[in-house]
Amino acid sequence: MVRWISLFLLLISLSAEAKRFIVHHRAKNERGRAGSFALTTEKRSIITGASEAAVKSLFSNEEVVSIEEDIILEATLEPGDVGSGDTFYNQQWHYFETSGIELPSAWDITTGSQDIVVAIVDTGMTNHPDLQSKVIPGADLVSESAMAGDGDGRDNDATDEGDWITFSDSCFQGMNKDSSWHGTHVAGTVAAHSDNGIGVTGVSWNSKILPVRVLGKCGGYLSDIADGVRWAAGGSVAGVTNNQNPADVINLSLGGRGNCTTTMQSAIDFAVSQGAVVVVASGNDDQNLDFSSYVPANCRNVINVGASNRSSNRSYFSNYGSSVDIMAPGGDFSASVFSTSNDGTTVANRASYRGMSGTSMAAPHVAGVVALIKSVAPNLFPAQIENIIKESAKFVNCDESNGCGAGMIDAYSAIRLAEITVPDGSFQGTEPINPTPDTPGAQRLIASDDGGGMCGSVAFVDGGKPPKGGLGAFVLSLVLGLTLSLVQKATQRKF
Cite the active site residues: 122, 182, 360
Among 78, 81, 86, 161, binds Ca ion (CB under 5 A): 86
**Number of helical H runs and strand E runs in the chain:** 12, 17
- 199: contact with Ca ion by CB under 5 A: yes
Determine which residue in the list 78, 81, 122, 130 makes contact with Ca ion, applying CB under 5 A: 130
Contacts of 238-246 spanning 24+ positions with Cβ under 8 A: 238/154, 239/141, 239/143, 239/153, 239/154, 239/155, 240/139, 240/140, 240/141, 240/154, 240/155, 240/156, 241/156, 243/139, 243/210, 244/137, 245/117, 245/136, 245/137, 245/208, 245/210, 246/117, 246/274, 246/276
Does 449 bind Ca ion (CB under 5 A)? Our answer is no
Binding region for Ca ion (CB under 5 A) out of 41-49, 99-107, 130-138, 397-405: 130-138
259 CA to centre of own chain = 25
Phi, psi of 220 (to 5 degrees): -155, 150
Tell whether residue 140 is a contact of Ca ion (CB under 5 A): yes
**Shortest distance, position 394 Cβ to Ca ion, whole Å:** 18
Among 68, 97, 115, 152, the residue binding Ca ion under the rule CB under 5 A is 152
CA distance 77 to 82: 8
Name the minimum Å distance from CB 386 to Ca ion: 6
Beta carbon nearer to Ca ion, 278 or 478: 278
Q: 81 vs 450, which CB is nearer to Ca ion? A: 81
The residue (of 114 and 311) whose beta carbon lies closer to Ca ion is 114
CB of 457 to Ca ion, least distance (A): 22
Number of residues forming the site for Ca ion (CB under 5 A):
11
Residue 148 in the binding site for Ca ion (CB under 5 A): yes
- Give, as ranges, the residues between 289 and 328 that touch Ca ion (CB under 5 A): 325
DSSP H stretches of helix in 22-144? 52-56, 93-96, 103-109
- Residue 38 CA to its chain's centroid (Å): 52
**What is the closest distance, in whole angstroms, from the C-beta atom of residue 236 to Ca ion in the complex?**
18
When asked if residue 163 is in the footprint of Ca ion (CB under 5 A), the reply is no
Give the containing element (helix H, strand E) for 337.
strand 337-342
Q: In what order do the strands lie in the sheet with 351-356?
A: 337-342, 351-356, 492-493
Does 368 bind Ca ion (CB under 5 A)? Our answer is: no
> Would you count residue 150 as binding Ca ion (CB under 5 A)?
yes
Positions in 168-197 near Ca ion (CB under 5 A): 193, 196
Name which of 140 and 332 has its Cβ closer to Ca ion. Answer: 140
Cα separation, 361 vs 281, whole angstroms: 8
Least separation in angstroms between residue 142's CB and Ca ion is 6
User: Which residues in 72-179 belong to E strands, given as ranges?
Assistant: 117-122, 139-140
**Contacting positions for Ca ion (CB under 5 A):** 86, 130, 140, 148, 150, 152, 155, 193, 196, 199, 325
